[in-house]
Amino acid sequence: MTGPAPTAGAAARGPASASTTASPEVVVWDPVVRIFHWTVVAGCLLNLFVVEDGESLHQIIGYVVAAVLVVRVIWGFIGTHYARFAQFVPGPRRLGRYLSALAKGREPRMLGHNPAGAVMMLALMALLAATCVSGWMMGLDAFWGEDWLEETHEWLANSILVLALLHALAALVESHRHRENLVLSMITGRKRRA
């Protein structure tokens, strides 16, 4: 004899939410996702506000950020459920529906990335990649001392800062609206199931 089928909402939240007798919390952000997130936060803060441009430490931090970015991209294809791009990257229609609901104050709570958060994450990852590549290029003989490259690198880094601030503000607003601490969940990896 089988029990009742999971609800459509349970199926939409992912495989870990099908059981009704399980813990009230579920692991959403695995260690790879959390290490990536906080390494990027620390690296960007250090390189933007603490370490001088051009110092060896600035370059080392840039390479560390580039390395965790490569790992995260790979993890986006082979990682856990909520880490996979296929799970959270929205198409235009899904993004439009979400933004429409958000504008009306009726956006659904999601265990993983919501569509707007997913787009922000992709934009930040693209900016990180471009910043890392431009920083690497600045050390090459072919581009040594090129003002346009240094200005591009600085513009990219400042763009990361602006988007990261918007991302943090959105996380705080969503935490308030859905009554859960999203910053804490990126530390522990856990979110409430419902």
Entry pTM: 0.84
Domains of the chain: total: 1
Q: What is the CATH number of the domain that holds 106?
A: 1.20.950
Read off the pLDDT of each residue in 98-116 and give the average, rounded to a whole number: 93
Domain membership of residue 9 (yes or no) is no
pLDDT at 22: 65
What percentage of the chain carries pLDDT values higher than 90? Answer: 84
Structural domain includes residue 19: no
pLDDT in tens, 13-72: 444 444 456 678 999 999 999 999 999 999 999 999 999 988 999 999 999 999 999 999
Residue 1 lies in a domain: no
Structural domain includes residue 158: yes
CA distances from 180 to 124, 172, 184 (A): 23, 9, 9
The parent domain of residue 90 ranges over: 27-192
Give the tokens for residue 166.
């918007």
Stretch 79-89: mean pLDDT: 96
C-alpha separations of 96 from 102, 103, 114, 115, 148 in Å: 10, 10, 12, 9, 36
